[in-house]
Amino acid sequence: MRVRDSALLECGVLTELLAEAGAVGFAEEEGVLIAYIPADVYSPEAVESVVGNFDGVAVERCECLPPKNWNELWESNFTPLMLEVGGRTLRIRASFHAPTVGGEELVIDPRMAFGTGHHATTRLMLEWLLGLPDPIESCLDIGCGSGILAILAAKRGARRVVALDYDIWAVENARENAALNGVEGVEVLHADLHALPQEQFQLMLANLTKNLLLDNLERLVATVRPGGLIAMSGFYEADALALEKAASSLGLRKERECTAEGWEMMVFLRTA
């Protein structure tokens, strides 16, 4: 789609609304926004309803892409990632990369699921987990994707880790990655935000969109014990204030925030 207002692309509102309409990926080329929507969820009416909110935005064309070997594509683009926080290092690699000599590592084969650490939202969460001074007792990872955050929590000493995702491909991939890293104790559930575990955790990890966080924050808070932490990301820096206000109204106190590439990550303490 042609977007005449460059500020509209930069603020992220258009991509966020298209994501709610089913888009799972985006690319920008000189004022043209390319949105990728799976064929089984694509709705011309939903896309047009988004575009109709903005002047100077028009859908130029819609085409169905031929099947691709997505595994081959991500393998060709997935380079190992090195993180360093407070003297601790973590190398994230795929199973086809050479093993790390010394230091910590995560082995992640993302396949059809999101999460290699290269995207700013995942990287911010990983860096925070890596820098935690004390072991984690229990952790709930919401929208786990490849399982990368849950696996690091387990490697940081969490005795109980539950990860969930509504996408069955992500669930299977997270289980595979947990086994690759020797943390088979990570429990991966096929569930959505309306079927959260009936228990409370010391830490919740929620790398979700702004609207998913706002719409479900009360039920998310209920799964964190008093004195526990909620780390959330997946939203733009411009959306942080709305989330902070919602969190404060539910008795959460902001402990930390950081940004990268326009994306935000915040950590809240449940005070009661």
- Are 17 and 133 in a shared domain? no
Residue 91, in any domain of the structure: no
* Percentage of residues in the chain having pLDDT higher than 90: 53
214 found inside a domain: yes
Domain that holds residue 133: 119-270
More confident residue, 79 or 142: 142
Q: Is 121 annotated as a binding residue?
A: no
215 is in an annotated binding site: no
Q: Which of 34, 58, 82 represents a domain boundary (last residue)? A: 58
199 within some domain: yes
Per-residue pLDDT, 11: 63
Q: pLDDT at position 223, please?
A: 96
Query: Shortest CA distance to 105 belongs to which of 177, 205, 203, 189?
Result: 177
For residue range 115-138, list pLDDT tens digits in order.
888 889 999 999 999 999 888 899
pLDDT at 238 > cutoff 60 = yes
Query: Does one domain contain both 54 and 124?
Result: no
In this structure, are 154 and 52 located in the same domain?
A: no
pLDDT of residue 76: 64
pLDDT band at 228 (very low <50, low <70, confident <90, very high): very high
CATH code (residue 143): 3.40.50.150
Asked whether residue 134 is assigned to any structural domain, the reply reads yes
Query: Chain-wide mean pLDDT for the chain?
Result: 88
89 is in an annotated binding site: no
Please indicate, yes or no, whether residues 139 and 253 belong to a single structural domain of this protein: yes
Separation between Cα atoms, residue 254 and residue 157, nearest integer Å: 24
Q: Do 12 and 142 have their domain in common?
A: no
pLDDT in tens, 137-148: 999 999 999 999
Predicted TM-score of the model (pTM) = 0.78
**Has residue 64 got a pLDDT over 90?**
no
Q: Residue 78: inside a domain, yes or no?
A: no
In this predicted structure, the answer to whether residue 31 has a pLDDT above a threshold of 90 is: no
Q: Distance between CA 190 and CA 173 in Å, rounded?
A: 12
Q: Does 132 fall in a domain?
A: yes
3-state secondary structure 225-258: EEEEEEEEEEEEHHHHHHHHHHHHHCCEEEEEEE
> What's the pLDDT tens digit per position in 171-225?
999 999 999 999 978 999 999 999 999 999 999 999 998 888 999 999 999 999 9
**Is the Cα dihedral 259, 217, 145, 150 positive or negative?**
positive
251 pLDDT higher than 80: yes
253 in a structural domain: yes
pLDDT band at 9, cuts 50/70/90? low
Final residue in a domain of this structure, among 43, 58, 73: 58
Q: How confident is the model at residue 5 (pLDDT cuts 50, 70, 90)?
A: low
Judge whether 108 and 138 are in contact, CB under 8 Å: no
Residues 131 and 54 in one domain: no
Q: Do 72 and 119 meet the contact criterion of CB atoms below 8 Å apart?
A: no
Share of the chain above pLDDT 70, in %: 90
Question: Residue 89: pLDDT above 90?
Answer: yes
Measured distance CA(89)–CA(79) in Å, rounded: 16
pLDDT of 102: 79
Q: For residue 107, which of 144, 153, 145, 151 has the smallest C-alpha distance?
A: 151
For residue 192, say whether it is annotated as part of any ligand binding site.
no
pLDDT at 71: 56
| Domain-embedded: residue 81 | no
